[in-house]
Copies of this chain bind each other. A is one copy, B any other.
Amino acid sequence: MSKNLEELKGELRGFVAERDWEKFHSPKNLTMALAGEAGELLEQFQWLTEEESYHLSGDKKVSVGEEIADILIYLVRLADKLEIDLLSEAYWKIEKNAAKYPVEKVRGKATKYTDL
């Protein structure tokens, strides 16, 4: 059976309910947990050069995979609590960015135009 974000949301609801942790998962607290995991992700990359960051060692890649999982997990939890649909928001944002950063204007330029 193929997995998707909808299923992951359900899986996490079960995990949290079983442990009676719902009370800790206010949206405010979940943003802190998510940002905390983003901080741990940074720590994996802070002393690497950009070039090195493309070629992680096996151990490093396992650690990075774990941080990435934590971020997705808290993101799905937060979106669930706020009744926000993750994929719809992402597609809507891409559309907005496409209008904001027209190809002919920003091609190959960094600075303020580089954000997705």
In the assembly, how many copies of this chain are there? 4
Whether the pair B87, A79 counts as a contact (CB closer than 8 A) is no
Please, how many angstroms separate the alpha-carbon atoms of A75 and B23 in the complex?
27
Q: Contacts A68-B75, A98-B15 given; indicate if A8 touches B45 (C-beta within 8 A).
A: no
Give 1 or 0 for each of A63-84: 1 = CB within 8 Å of chain B CB.
0111011111111111101101
* Number of residues on chain A facing chain B (CB within 8 A): 83
Instruction: List 17 contacting pairs A-B, 8 Å CB cutoff, sorted by A.
Output: A3-B88, A4-B4, A4-B5, A8-B87, A15-B98, A19-B108, A26-B53, A28-B53, A32-B43, A49-B50, A61-B82, A65-B92, A66-B93, A68-B79, A69-B93, A73-B93, A73-B116
